[in-house]
Chain A
Amino acid sequence: MGALISFIAVIILTLLAYGGVKSANMQAIFGIVLPYAAIMTFLIGVSYRVIKWAKSPVPYRITTTCGQQKTLPWIKQNKIENPSDAMGVTVRMILEVLLFRSLFRNTRSELQDGKLLHGSSKWLWLGGIAFHAAFFTVLFRHLRLFTEPMLLPLHLVETLDGFMQIGAPRLLMSGVVLLGAAMFLLLRRFLIPQVRYISLPADYFPLFLIIGIAVTGIMMRYVTKTDIVSVKELTMGLISLKPKIHQGVGAIFYIHLFLVSVLFAYFPFSKLVHMTGVFLSPTRNLANNGREVRHINPWNYKVKARTYEEYEDEFREKMKSANIPVEKE
């Protein structure tokens, strides 16, 4: 049900862009106004979410650990899985952000002949990392439309990406992997009953949206074609704040751009903010030094304290006369 709603939503968005450009001639809306609005929503929304997260106090260390904590000098500490300093945390965060370390530990439990078996399950990790790496490569390659002169590594990335030299324009592997991995993540939600049970429209919508973006992008490159020079003139106009609509850019381009705009605008309101959220995960980004350092709860009120010295100063004479031992004569 959630899948159907999301699928219909993406179809409606596609038709909206197609109809808007084909019959209503709203190129300026889909090519200029919406992309600007989307990027502003994205920048402001994500920054707002991050600041809002940063306002939540984290009074004590809640790191998840799976290694030996720092203790006596002759017991070897696992510095990455149970970091006690900034260095360890940094390495751990790098592994988490770039390699999805904690997802790599994913396990699966199932009943076999009446016995509950637990085992390692790497498929989600593999699909996830293929998807994210391919998406990043695709996004990075798109900088060719936004930089003039070209950034240097772009040619290198494109050469590596089209390394197989299949056809012309060269088949870029990142596009194939992106679409394949997104389909895998979608099928996973369809086919595994437990995952299907917990899947919401908010899970399906980004997947369908990204599949739509990948399909229109691949179509433009290999099948229906669009005038890439006009496209770059449009994108360069956008980033130099002198936007201009160019004729000769087909409707498929506006569908692609509109779906991307929707993705950017939808980003801060959805689970997609895990892009920034991963950096602010207290279970990952804190050093496990709860036994070394005293972490003061930020909302503790100030307790009016009186030290023993002050007490003794006040009652010294009385204590002496009652033969109670005092520390200072």
Chain B
Amino acid sequence: MYDRGKVIAGIIIFLALVTFPFFYKTGKANVQIEPKINTPVIEGLSEKKCVESKEFMRANHMQLLNEWRDAAVRDGQRTYVASDGKSYAISLQNTCMNCHSNKKEFCDTCHSYTGVKPYCWDCHIAPMEAKR
């Protein structure tokens, strides 16, 4: 083999770059990620149900929030009629965060695990408990 030193160094750099996640703090790898819904308001509900089904919310909450923002801020439309016919006030702070008052244990659990940084809080004031 010619230029042995350089070629071996190159291969080692290549292997290190590709396999780096295998060596990067894998101790925390298998943690259980479960957003908490045990706030007092939710505990007090007779029927524990969000504005839409759990499956829908899990997959599409960001799209729904985006539609809510456009409806409220751009069209002045402040009532949301859910698929089951119930009406809700379109408001992040008064509707969503009223029940889910535990941003840290609810929103942030999955978001920080999957590296999502929503820009909700660029405009909205994060609930007080977040500052704890």
List chain A positions with a Cβ less than 8 A from chain B. 39, 42-43, 46-47, 50-51, 54-58, 143-151, 154-155, 158-159, 165, 167-170, 225, 227-229, 232-233, 236-237, 239-242, 244, 276, 279-280, 298
Contacts and interface: CB of A to CB of B under 8 A. Distances in A.
B66 A167 contact: yes
B15 A47 contact: yes
B40 interface: no
Contacts of B3: 54
Given A50-B10, A159-B117, A170-B119, 18 more contacts: A42-B18, A43-B18, A51-B1, A51-B7, A54-B4, A143-B21, A147-B21, A148-B25, A155-B115, A167-B66, A168-B118, A227-B58, A229-B113, A236-B29, A239-B26, A239-B29, A244-B30, A276-B14
Interface string B82-126: 000000000000000000000000000010111111110000000
Contact of A55 (B2, B10, B21, B63): B2
B62 interface: yes
Given A42-B18, A144-B115, A240-B30, A57 B2 contact: yes
The number of chain B residues touching the other chain, given as a range, is 35 or more
A13 B85 CA distance: 43
A70 B119 CA distance: 56
Interface in B54-81: 58-60, 62-63, 65-66
Contacts of A145: 114
Given A47-B11, A155-B117, A298-B2, A227 B59 contact: yes
Given A54-B1, A158-B115, A233-B33, A240 B19 contact: no
Interface string B12-26: 001100110110111
A232 to B, nearest CB: 5
Given A168-B63, A233-B33, A240-B30, A147 B2 contact: no
Nearest to A242: B30
Given A159-B117, A239-B21, A54 B7 contact: yes
Nearest to B61: A168
Given A47-B15, A236-B30, A239-B22, A168 B66 contact: yes
Contacts of A229: 33, 110, 113-114
B10 A228 contact: no
B114 A228 contact: yes
B28 interface: yes
B21 A232 contact: no
B1 A43 contact: no
Q: Which 5 A-B pairs have the closest CB atoms?
A: A240-B29, A144-B115, A168-B66, A146-B21, A225-B59
A38 B19 CA distance: 13
A58 B7 CA distance: 14
A232 B14 contact: no
Contacts of B1: 51, 54-55
B112 to A, nearest CB: 8
21 contacts: A43-B15, A47-B14, A51-B1, A54-B3, A56-B2, A58-B2, A146-B21, A148-B25, A148-B29, A149-B25, A150-B112, A154-B115, A155-B117, A227-B58, A236-B26, A239-B21, A239-B22, A240-B26, A240-B29, A244-B30, A280-B7
Nearest to B26: A240
B108 to A, nearest CB: 13
A242 B29 contact: yes
A89 B58 CA distance: 53
A167 B19 CA distance: 34
A280 B8 CA distance: 12
